[in-house]
Structures are given as C-alpha cells and as structure tokens.
Structure 1
Amino acid sequence: MSTTEVAAPETADIAAAELPPKQLTGRLKVVLAVLLVAQFMLAVDFSILNVALPAIGDGLGFSLANLQWVATAFALSAAGFTLLFGRIGDLIGRKRIFLGSLALLGLSSLVGGLATAPAILIVARIAQGLATAAATPAGLALLTTAFPEGPLRQKALGLNGALMSAGFTTGAILGGVLTDLLSWRWAFFINVPVALVVLVIAPAVIRESRPQQRPKIDLPGALSVTLGLLGVVYGLTQAGEHGWTDAHALTGLLVGAALLVVFAFVERKSAQPLVPLQVLEKRTVAWGNVLGLLAFVTETSLVYLLTLYMQKTLGFSALTAGISFGVLGIGTVVGGLLAPRVIARTSTLTTLIAGGVLQAVFTAVLLLLGDTAASMALMLPATFLGGVGNMLVIVGFMVTATTGLPNDEQGLATGLASMSQQVGITMGTPIMSAIVTATTAGMATAAAILHGVTVAIAANAALVVLGVLIAATALRPHRT
C-alpha cells in the first residue's frame, strides 16, 4: 500500500503522518489523560453493579428470575453493537461518536440512578450498553490515530490496558463500598460527573478524525452481524443462568451462529463491506483478536470462579471478596506499565508468549487452593502474577490487532478489538459456570464448590495455554 493511499482519508491524519511526534507533547498528554479516564470509566461500568444486584432487586422489586436482566441488557447492547458503531465512527467521525456516546452514558446513568421501576432501570442499562458499544472503539481509534505506530502507541495502549483492567477490579470493589455505605444508586450516579468532565475538556484537545469520502453503510452486513452477535451473547447469558441445555440458550446460539455465517457471505459480495475481507485476512488482525478473546474469557471468568470460591468455600462476604481482588488489579496495572517496555526490548510476539506462559503457570498454581483461609496466602500472589501475565497478553493483542492498518481503518480495527473484549467478557462466566454446575451436580456444599471451581480453573489454564500455542504458531514471522 502506498503512502498516498494510507494518508489520503483524513486531513488530521495527513498532518500526523507528516510530522509524527517523537515524545509526548503537552497536548498529547492531555489527550491521553482524557481518553484513559473515559476508558477507565467504561471498564468500571462493566463490573460495578455485580455486587449491587441483590440490593437493586430489593429496592426496585425485581423478581429473582428477572434480576439477571440488569446485567444481560447491558451485555447484549454493549457486545452486539460494538462492531457497527466502530465502523460508523470511521465514516462520520470518531470524535463525534465518542462525545455523543459519553453524553448518552452520563444521561442514562442519571436515569438509572433515579429509576423507580424495573422497566426504567432496564432501559437505562440498554442505553449504557449502547453508549459503551460506541465509546469504546471510538476512544481506542482516537488513541491509535493520535499516537503513531511504535513506542508512543505501545506506551499509550499499555496505559490504556492497565487502566481498563484495573477498572474492572475497581468496579467490583467500588460497587460493594458504595452499596454498603450509601446506596446502589451511587453505582450509577458516579458516572455522571466523570462524563461531564470529559465532555468539557475533550472537545478542545481531541482532533476530529473523519474520512473525506464517506462510503455507504453496508446495511445487510450491519444487520446480520449485529443480530448475530446479539443472538450469541443472549445464548451465552442464558446458558450461564439456566445451563447449556436451556431452550432459549440453544436457540440464541444457533440463530446467532447462523446469522454470522450469513454475514460472512454478505461481506464477500458487498461492494463496500462493513468489514473488508482483506482486513480479516491479515494474520495480525484475525489471530490477534482470537488471542484477545481468550485473554478476556480467561481472566474475567477467573474473577467469577475465585469470587465463588471465597464466598461459598471460605465464607467471605461479598465486600471482602471484592477487596481481595485489589491485588489482581495492582498486577494488571504493573503488567500494563511493563508491556510497552517488554515489547520495545523484545517483540510483540515474545510479549504475547511470555505473558501467556506467566498467566498459565499462575492460573495452574490456583489448583492447589484448599478449604481454609490459609489458601489466601497462595491465591493473592498467584492472582497478582497472573494479572501481570494477562495484561502483557492484552496489550500485545491490542498492538498486534491495530498495527499495519491505515488510519481510516483504525475504527474498524479497534471495533473488532473491542468486540473481542466484550464478547470475551460475556463468554467467560457462562462457560466456567457451566463447568462448575456440571461438576458439582447440583450440590452447594463448600467441598463441592471447591471441587467444581478447581475443575473450571484447570479448563481456564488450558485455554491460556491454547492462546500461547496460537501465538507461537499463527503469528510466527514468515521466513523469507
């Protein structure tokens, strides 16, 4: 691809390509801070309500069967629309999408905090999910186009990954603290001032990124991939709630898979596809996103397994269990800070493999957990080091999946990466929950839960090893 082809789509990107910054300028530091704060807030939003769900149910009168829709409504919209909104950002402007979605997030959070009935809360959660689906790829695309390929982008992605993963952990802790000390409503309200601050600062420092020529939206492709992802995510959430033999779970998974196959055929025939096949044919994009999917499946589901272990086997409270994950959060921050340095001194592939090996080893260490609180002396350092390894993989995946593409395709690349992230988060818990359920055979004793969690941890470690093997084989440089 020629320089003209890469630089043509956007005026701002032409200037960036002509004079790429060698170090963080004052404006770039502010841009980075604004984007990182926004991504951190989005990550917190994924997990902040988990601990608060029982209090929400009691406060608004949710039935036990319908309470899971507080999480499911968010997951469906957040994962189902990410790819579509990422591409729309490429076409009409990532800054516009980013600011609009943050405004929607702030407004929907305010509505959720003020909700007086279950229906109002569910609508607010759907709106929060849609805002997340738009803001996450747009924010990442603004970050990757603001920082050129190389050390600056690696540093930015490392910080982004660290704060994003720390945000998941912070959400779990913050949700418990706010619910216990104030009210579950503050798990919603906390987004409002953060969104307002970003909306005040961002317009002045973030440059618009808009293509000069706007191709038409691939409507058949957009409908098939969005409905397909909605079907798959719905099936996964129902499987986690009711088991893999549940009719709704199977129907959602089968219909979703069929629509994704339709999407693949549509893209082959479309003159202006939503996802150009030449992008998916790049090994770095295709396999990088597979590794990202596995990274999020394994680490987020491990949090679920260890929460189950601490509460059901060790008898810890939800708040104590949440606070225990602070060690994991520190590990992910350390991993995010280390990742750019490891990449600079070795390579992205070496970072992916080393991070995967580190995560696999310390996930396997958790197989030694026992039924007394003394096991925390094993669990805490293992989760710290496993978190470091997982973050090396996540930053490596982000760098791999967004490298070698022109700036006008960065929205698509980050949309794919965000989709891998959010589908991975959604997939992990149902898969591990199904393993625990099958292993315990319905028994809820401390010993049975420990056995089920141990089997699921073994499966989790196996998935991490699979990621290492994929990285070592599929991303190995071709010999010339």
Structure 2
Amino acid sequence: MNFGRTRSSSPGAVLTALAAAQFTVMLATSIVNVALPQIRAGVGLSDGDITWVVNAYGLAFGALLLAGGRAADLLGRRRVLLAGLALFAGSSLAAGLATTPGVLIAARAVQGLGAATIAPAALALTMGLFPSGAGRGRALGVWGAVSGAGGAGGVLLGGVLTQAWGWPWIFHSVALLAVLVLLAVVALVPQTAGQKDGGFDLWGTATVTLALTCLVWGLTTARGAGWTDTRVVGALIGAAALLAAFAAIERRRPDALIPPRLFTTGRVAAGNLLMALLGSVWIALFFFLPLYQQQVLGMSPLATGAGQLPLAVANMLGAALAPAVARRIGGTATVVLALLTEAAGLLWLSGMRTDGSYLVDVLGPSILVGLGLSVAFVQLTALAVEGVPTQDAGLAGGLVNTTRQVGGAIGLAALATLAGSVTSHSSGQPPLAALTAGYQTAFAVSAAILTLTALLAVPLTRGTRPTRDTGARHPVATAVSR
C-alpha cells in the first residue's frame, strides 16, 4: 500500500507525530488515577461507580483493539488514525463537561473506543516507516519511551491539573492534546490507502469483542462483588463460550480477524504471551503506587504526581538504551535482564512501611521499575510484530496492545482482590498498617509474576539475535509503503 504523493516530511518528523498519538492514549489511561476522589465528589459517583471511571476506558480499549487494528488495515491507517483522534478529542471534552455519573462513564467508554483505533493504526504506520534493522529498534525505543512516559506523566499531570484548576481539566487537557496530535498527523503523515482485497470479519469481530468485554467486565466487577458473585461467574462463563465460538468461526473464515498466517512467521504468539504477563503488573503498578503515596504517606495530588517523574525519566532512558543493549547481548538476554530488573524494583516496593518516606520507600525502586519496564516493553513489542506480513501490521499492532490491556485487566483485578483480602484480614492492625500490608502483598506477587515471566522468556525468545542496520530506504513515501 503506497501513501500516494510524496510529502517532504522526514521519517523523524512522522515518527514524532505517531509517537505523540501513542503518548496521548497512554496519558488518558493513568491521568484520572490521582483525581478519583475529586471526580467522585464533582459528579456524585458512588463508591461502586468510581472504579468505572477507570474501567469504562480500559474495557472499551482492550475489547475493541483487534477490530481497530483490522479496520486500519482495510480502510487505511492514516484515515483510521485521524478518525480515532477526532473521536478521542470529542469524548475527552464531553468527559470534562460531564455533571452526572452516566455521562462521564459513557464518555470514558467512547474515549476507549477512540484509543482502540489510534493505538494499532499508529503502531502499524511506525512499523511501515522503519521496515527492518536497527532503525526499527530505535523507533520502538521511542515507542517504549512515550508509552511509559505517558503512564507516569498522566499521574503527574493529573496531580498538577487537579490541584491547580480542578478535575475537569484533566479531560480538557487530553482533548487539547488530541487535537494538536491530529493536526500534526494531517501535516506530517502521508496519505494511505486501504487494502483492495479481503473483507471485514464481522462475526469474528463481534464474537471476540463480546468475549473480551465479558472477560474484562467480569474481572473488574469481581474486585467489588467477589469471585463467587453470579454476575461475575456468568460473565466469565460467557467469555469462555464466546472465545470458543470465535475459534470455531476463525477456522472457517477466509478473511479471519486473526488469520492463522499471523502465527506462522516470527514470534507473534511468544511476544503476545509475554506482553500479557508484563501488562498484568504494569497497570497495577500505576494503580497501587499513587494510592500508597496519598493514603499512607499523606502526599498531596501534586506531590504524588511529581513523585512519578523519576520513574518516567528512567523509563525514557531505558527505552532509549534498549536497542543498543539488544544489539550487543541479544534479544533473549535483554528481555530476561529487563524483566528481572523490574521484578527487583517491585520486590523492593513490597518492603514499603507505614511510617516510610518517599525518598526511602519509593524513589529507588521506581527507578529500577522504570528501567526494566521500558526495555521489556520495547523488546516484547518488537517480538510481537517480528516477521508479520505487511498487510497484517495493523492487526498485529492491535493484538499486542490487546494482550497488554487484557493482561492488565486480569492482573489488576486479581491483585486488587488479593490486596483487599489481606487488608480486610488485618483488621487487628491500625488502618494504615492494614492498607500497607495489602499493597506489600500486591507488589510481592507482582515481582514473583515477572520472575516467572523471565524464566518463561528464555525458551520462548531463544534465537532472537542482535539486529543490524540493513540500510533501509530513506524516503518516507517509500519506507512507509506496505
């Protein structure tokens, strides 16, 4: 697929616009975390509804990523990216103007739909811009840096805006950023055309979307209702049945949403499995850490956000170094080292104290976590798109984002339930000690998950060699072609 007429934009400028789109998506994932108490008071949310300010976005995002990736391949990646950014900006503005719980939660769900079209389209365009070699490694380093910086930066910006101007501005700022990114894409990213052959797998898309919706909804509801609640059990059974139906549909479809050819080359399955495990602790980290800082250490929203800066800086540094490290020691060693580094940081966090301090209990482990997280993200993203046919690049991008989001929903649900159980069984202790015990357990289990992931990565990534620059074509109109 060719972009059409050549634009004068350099590959670096195009990458900047696409990375900004990914940053915007990740920013919206975490920017609400610090402001949840103020949002609850502002629109009259109940204790049960407040979680849906986070979950409505994550559910729509995770459930619709595959559909968004396939739409990008069929309709044109630039076109779908622009539509997603416009939808994202409008829904963000609506969320900031909301005065009732229903409007706010609905706006967050539509925001998630926009994110589900932005993320795979932007990643596919990036993979086309840097088809192979060290250039792709550097591009993925940028991708990892902005993804991690978006997660940590969201907490920082959320704290600043909430304390300075109030919670609506966390959504207004995201809307403004989405508009600026949309204008940058219009100006810098050349036009693309969709595939002329193949169709949209409507039944497969509907089935897997409903399955993921049931799965994510069941897991997030279990945090409050319990694992034995009939709604939770029904949702999980429904998810299993729908996934089985999806597998049966895909075997008979010539234009399957997840075609078997996607797994016949490269290491797509391995990359997605490991990314799901990484995601299971990623989202939980940005959920529990701000809570510990505010509820136990007594830090303000602004101070809590500022406290994420070292993690963000470490994340960007790790992402920048990841390609060079992989070229020197190989992909397998890089992934394992990164996962163990993050696990060490999480284990350090599990020793947090009720009478602790930011400098002693948070700063050091945050740096380790940021370094490990970014390097692992870069390498596993590269692994998940390695060897994928160019016509399926959008789908591969959607798939790896889906596994991270769904893995995050599973991990957050399980870890939040575990932390809550530990806290409730620590009733004989002071309230802050009981809360801290729950957070300690969540971080300790997260460290164990990543250690097991590192061990699993050894056989799954064996043979991943250092990459070498192949002298890929420079002109954007050629390099980003399919």
Aligned-pair CA distance for 1:81:
0.5
Q: After superposition, where does 1:357-368 map in structure 2 within 5 Å?
A: 357-368=340-351
Distance of 1:310 and 1:55 partners within structure 2: 16
The AA in structure 2 aligned to 1:321 is: T
Post-superposition CA distance 1:395-428 (Å, at most 9, x none): 0011111111121111111010111222233233
Q: After superposition, where does 1:240-319 map in structure 2 within 5 Å?
A: 240-282=223-265, 284-319=267-302
Q: Which runs of 5+ in 1 are unaligned?
A: 1-9, 16-24
Which residue of structure 2 lines up, in the alignment, with residue 11 of structure 1? 2
Aligned-pair CA distance for 1:281:
4.7
Q: Which moved more, 1:127-136 or 1:358-367?
A: 358-367
The AA in structure 2 aligned to 1:294 is: L
Q: After superposition, where does 1:392-431 map in structure 2 within 5 Å?
A: 392-431=375-414
Post-superposition CA distance 1:226-282 (Å, at most 9, x none): 000101111121122333233322222221122112211211121221101231355
Q: Which moved more, 1:102-111 or 1:118-127?
A: 118-127
Q: Structure 1 residue runs of 4+, over 4 Å off?
A: none
| Maintained 8 Å contact 1:331/1:387 | yes
From the superposition, tell whether residues 116 and 153 of structure 1 become closer, same or farther in structure 2 (CA, over 3 Å).
Answer: same
Distance of 1:339 and 1:248 partners within structure 2: 43
Distance of 1:365 and 1:374 partners within structure 2: 14
Distance of 1:131 and 1:296 partners within structure 2: 20
Which residue of structure 2 lines up, in the alignment, with residue 451 of structure 1? 437
| Maintained 8 Å contact 1:355/1:388 | yes
TM-score, structure 1 as length reference:
0.90
Q: After superposition, where does 1:191-202 map in structure 2 within 5 Å?
A: 191-202=174-185
1:465 and 2:456 matched: no
From the superposition, tell whether residues 108 and 342 of structure 1 become closer, same or farther in structure 2 (CA, over 3 Å).
Answer: same
| Maintained 8 Å contact 2:160/2:302 | yes
Aligned-pair CA distance for 1:356:
1.0
1:133 and 2:133 matched: no
Q: Secondary structure at the match of 2:350?
A: helix
Q: Which moved more, 1:105-114 or 1:28-37?
A: 105-114
| Maintained 8 Å contact 2:77/2:194 | no
The AA in structure 2 aligned to 1:218 is: D
Match of 2:156 among 163, 173, 189: 173
Aligned-pair CA distance for 1:26:
5.5
Which residue of structure 1 lines up, in the alignment, with residue 69 of structure 2? 86
The AA in structure 2 aligned to 1:301 is: A
TM-score, structure 2 as length reference:
0.90
Aligned-pair CA distance for 1:464:
0.2
From the superposition, tell whether residues 160 and 275 of structure 1 become closer, same or farther in structure 2 (CA, over 3 Å).
Answer: same
Distance of 1:204 and 1:48 partners within structure 2: 27
Which residue of structure 1 lines up, in the alignment, with residue 474 of structure 2? none
Distance of 1:341 and 1:50 partners within structure 2: 34
From the superposition, tell whether residues 248 and 320 of structure 1 become closer, same or farther in structure 2 (CA, over 3 Å).
Answer: farther
Work out which structure has the larger RCO, using CA pairs closer than 8 Å and 6 or more positions apart in sequence: 2
CA RMSD of aligned residues (A): 2.2
Match of 1:345 among 328, 353, 377: 328
Distance of 2:10 and 2:117 partners within structure 1: 24
| Maintained 8 Å contact 2:349/2:361 | yes
The AA in structure 2 aligned to 1:471 is: A
Q: Secondary structure at the match of 2:267?
A: helix
Q: Which runs of 5+ in 2 are unaligned?
A: 466-482
Q: After superposition, where does 1:359-398 map in structure 2 within 5 Å?
A: 359-374=342-357, 376-398=359-381
| Maintained 8 Å contact 1:92/1:214 | no
Q: Percent identity?
A: 35
| Maintained 8 Å contact 2:331/2:461 | no
1:50 and 2:50 matched: no
For this pair of structures, how many residues does the alignment match? 460
